[in-house]
Amino acid sequence: MEYNRGYINENKDIQRPPAEITFYEELKALSISDKQKKPGTWKLSPWAVLKYIMGGEISGGITISPKYIGNQKVVEIAIASLLSDRALLLTGFPGTAKTWLAEHLAAAISGDSTLLIQGTSGTHEDLLKYGWNYASLISKGPTEEGLIPSPVMLAMQQGSIARIEELSRIPTETQDALLSILSEKTVSIPELRKLIPAQQGFNIIATSNDLDKGVYEMSSALRRRFNIVYMPLPTSVQEEIEIVTYRVNQLGRNLNIPLAEVKEKQVQKLVTLLRELRNGITEDGKTKLRKSGASLNPAVSINIIHEARILAQFFDNGEVKPQHMIANLINSIRHDSPEDAAVIQEYNETVLKKRDDYKEWYQAIKKEI
């Protein structure tokens, strides 16, 4: 069994390799140890896909790193959905690892996570089905050589997983081009009087941002062809800290340069601060707060800490301090929800000012606002 290594041997300095390249050794080890039945063209059994996503020990003393930190049931349902006659739609607020999980599911199941469509208001039907080489179309008319298959059609022909990001940003009439693909498992090419049937193993993983509700609503007919799995925000501070720490460390390794270390206490303080502003209540449940309108999810924490490490390493004394993180936090809030400057100022005076271990944070916020 071989995973798609793509250009790994030719380009050793890829900035952001696909999951199947980054975690090639883990996928290979899982494939060797996987003795369970593999459905269709799946590279791994459902059990091994779950092990790859959630992490853990496998035979030979090999440790598989966790790719998703959260409720295992969510991942189990997602994997089961891809074995059904429905496609999978991962939905939730920004920062809940929808894209991350979709990529790793495609990598583990198909060995190729790159059959991707990025949904926008300009996404047309030919990006979901097929298009034409216009020079060939004009000179020769419709021919198989002039046909340009979409990532979805390629996935159908290969029996693999196609990914559609931000489905809710694609116009409704274009979304509905998926109806025949998901119900009939074929693409009709009337110009060639030909049907392209889906091979065993084909399916689609789509993602949708809850903040985009109302942009382009899915038709009820299309919704019925998806199993919709809601991706929850982390339920506890500790779970969120684990997610943030894992991704921050990974981003640091990808740069291949030394970065200032961030202390666990600093991560805990930032995560707590963002959770309280996001939820409108302190973690101990004693003080109600005005909620921030900004999207203060784990992805924001990851970005803030990663940039703080860079600032501390190259423009300070190598020690990550609250002011390195607060400047980026305030900037994020002002960008997402300008009126929230008053919310964080109120939070600073009513909550952080009373916490002895947040004195530096209090001063940093007071200075920035």
Shared domain for 209 and 109, answered yes or no, is: yes
- The C-alpha atoms of residue 26 and residue 15 are separated, in whole angstroms, by 20
**Ramachandran sector of residue 295 (left: φ over 0; alpha: ψ -120 to 50; beta: rest):** beta
- Tell me, yes or no, whether 2 lies in a domain: no
Give the per-residue pLDDT at 1. 46
Shared domain for 165 and 190, answered yes or no, is: yes
Q: Is 116 helix (H, G, I), strand (E, B) or coil?
A: strand
As a whole number of angstroms, the longest Cα–Cα distance in the chain is: 76
Which residues of the chain, if any, have pLDDT below 50? Answer: 1, 7, 10
- The C-alpha atoms of residue 15 and residue 151 are separated, in whole angstroms, by 23
pLDDT digits (tens, 9 = 90+) for 263-274: 999 999 999 999
CB atoms within 10 A of CB 290: 14
- The C-alpha atoms of residue 66 and residue 104 are separated, in whole angstroms, by 11
pLDDT digits (tens, 9 = 90+) for 51-93: 999 999 998 889 999 999 999 999 999 999 999 989 999 999 8
Shared domain for 122 and 248, answered yes or no, is: no
- What number of residues does the chain have? 369
Give the per-residue pLDDT at 332. 82
- Total number of domains constituting the chain: 2
Give the per-residue pLDDT at 4. 58
Shared domain for 172 and 221, answered yes or no, is: yes
- Tell me, yes or no, whether 220 lies in a domain: yes
Q: What is the pTM for the complete model shown? A: 0.89
Residues 326/368, Cβ–Cβ less than 8 Å: yes
Among the candidates 210, 230, 250, a domain finishes at 230
Q: Print the domain residue range for 87.
A: 19-230
Name which of 287, 291, 304 is nearest 340 in CA terms: 291
CA distances (Å), origin 106, targets 47, 248, 256 = 15, 23, 27
Tokens representing 297 are: 């999810």
Give the per-residue pLDDT at 12. 58
